[in-house]
Amino acid sequence: MTEQTHWPAGQQSAVVLTLDFNDIHGILTHTPAVAGRDKTLSVWRYGTLRGVDRLLALLAEKNVRASWCLPAIVAEENPQVFARIVAAGHEIACSGDSHQNFDTLTLAEQIASVKKGCDRLEAACGKRPVGFRTPAGQWKPGLAEALSEQGIRWSSGWRGDDLPYFHPGTRLVELPLHYELEDEPYFAFNLSPAVPPGQSRIASYQQTLENMKLDFQGFHRFGLCYVLRLHPEIIGTAGRIGLLAGLLDFIASHEKVWLATAGDVAGWWLTQPENVAEHPAEIFQRQLREQNA
């Protein structure tokens, strides 16, 4: 059983591989207590030291283009690593200027972070990002409109669906995430200080791979958009890179799979007249506006 295809050239499903490259800035935002603790920070520096290049080698071997989401500060602090990502032909998306918790920012500060981040990333790679992922925290109302005005055409940080949808009142395409399609809930771990606080990880590699395979089979069966969210310091270890290789091989063994960047999927979604802004998020916002009118 399949649903009507949403994808080009008769493809049955879409697969998007996204990578969050935050170096130590991500953990410093989430757990400020690790500042100055170099042993702990080395866990997250591993992605820059080894994980990025291991991922680039695998993606080249499998002929896969990914969408790399990063704050501008990471590109500027690691120019050679960033240059290798760009040279490999991957998409660059913005996660703001520095890695910040958007819960702590006003709308004006959120907009400024995105604009400055895009400016600096464009200066570093010669191409302005058209994608955005919130580094941490929640958007303020009005950010979606501001992103569209700045030329951002896709976001990937919200949830709530397994097909792309438009943010209310805009043509900004959301590529929704699912926690089970991320590496962090399975594997993120540090002993002291505890990350996560409950210390309930590390998961079985084989069982995690089977989970992700089963999810792909379901997404493919129903013609959906399977968005992976991975991190160089987590999936890029010597053992876990094999998990990703196995998953990509499994995906490639299926017919009619469109493996594309987030920008490619958003670009396609925007051109299809049947994709209208009638997602539940849009309906809710419209009813809210009518109620307050």
pLDDT band at 1 (very low <50, low <70, confident <90, very high): very low
In a domain, 1, yes or no: no
- Tens digit of each residue's pLDDT (9 = 90 or more) over 261-286: 999 999 999 988 666 666 565 555 55
Residue 2 falls within a domain, yes or no? Answer: no
Write the pLDDT tens digit of every residue in 234-252.
Answer: 999 999 999 999 999 999 9
Domain count, the chain: 1
pLDDT recorded at residue 105 = 94
The verdict on residue 3 lying in a domain is no
User: What pLDDT, on a 0 to 100 scale, did the predictor assign at position 2?
Assistant: 45
d(CA 125, CA 277): 33
- pLDDT at position 33: 77
pLDDT confidence bin for 37, thresholds 50/70/90: confident
**256 versus 203: which is more confidently predicted?**
256
pLDDT in tens, 53-78: 999 999 999 999 999 999 999 999 99
Q: What is the pLDDT of residue 44?
A: 73
Query: Is 163 inside a domain boundary?
Result: yes
Residue 166 dihedral angles phi and psi, to the nearest 5° = -90, 140
Residue 181 structural domain: 8-292
Decide if 147 is inside a domain: yes
Asked whether the beta carbons of 85 and 54 are under 8 A apart, the reply is no
Q: Tens of pLDDT along 194-238?
A: 666 666 768 899 999 999 999 999 999 999 999 999 999 999 999
Mean per-residue pLDDT for 135-146?
Answer: 93
Question: In the beta sheet, which residues pair with residue 257?
Answer: 13
In a domain, 142, yes or no: yes
Nearest C-alpha neighbor of 152 from the set 102, 96, 225, 107:
96
CATH at 193: 3.20.20.370
Whether 174 and 158 have beta carbons less than 8 Å apart is answered as yes
Assigned domain for 246 exists: yes
For 75-134, the pLDDT digits (tens) are 999 999 999 999 999 999 999 999 899 999 999 999 999 999 999 999 999 999 999 999
Are the CB atoms for 72 and 99 separated by under 8 Å? no
* 250 occurs within a structural domain: yes
